Amino acid sequence: MALYISDRQKSEKLDLEPIRRLLVPVLAELDIVDLDLEIELLDDRQIAGLNEKFFSRSRPTNVISFPQERENGHLGDVVVSVETTRREIESLGYSLEEGVVYYLIHGILHLLGFEHVGVEAEVAAAMEHRQDELFELALLSGSYQ
């Protein structure tokens, strides 16, 4: 598996290495070993453009997932707004890198077929529970130092 992380935003100083280290146990737990994953870190303007283009919503969002053809060895692409992440995690006591990982986990779960919008409450709760489990695994893995 190859993990590609591209920081295309200029609004926040970000250390990509802790993000990569925090994701390793998550990807192992999800058994994503033979598929590539591409991650782009964007600002609000950039992600709002994608949100408008693909979902007709003219506003920034925290994360968007783009599934790909798995038979080509690519799980998909996940884009995260670093600015939105900063605003949403500010009062929670997490670092910016940890917040980015939280939303990356969310996006990766979407790539794997998890859903929380337009589904029964139990299905949405299952996704939220799995996301929280994986985030805890990332934080407890000891990789973030």
Q: What residue ranges do the domains of the chain occupy?
A: 3-140
In the predicted model, what is the mean pLDDT of the chain? 94
Nearest CA to 63 out of 54, 71, 75 is that of 54
CATH classification code of 3-140: 3.40.390.30
The pLDDT value recorded for residue 110 is 97
The pLDDT value recorded for residue 145 is 47
Return d(Cα 71, Cα 69) in angstroms, integer.
Answer: 5
Return d(Cα 62, Cα 88) in angstroms, integer.
Answer: 9
pLDDT tens digits for range 56-106: 999 999 999 999 988 889 999 999 999 999 999 988 999 999 999 999 999
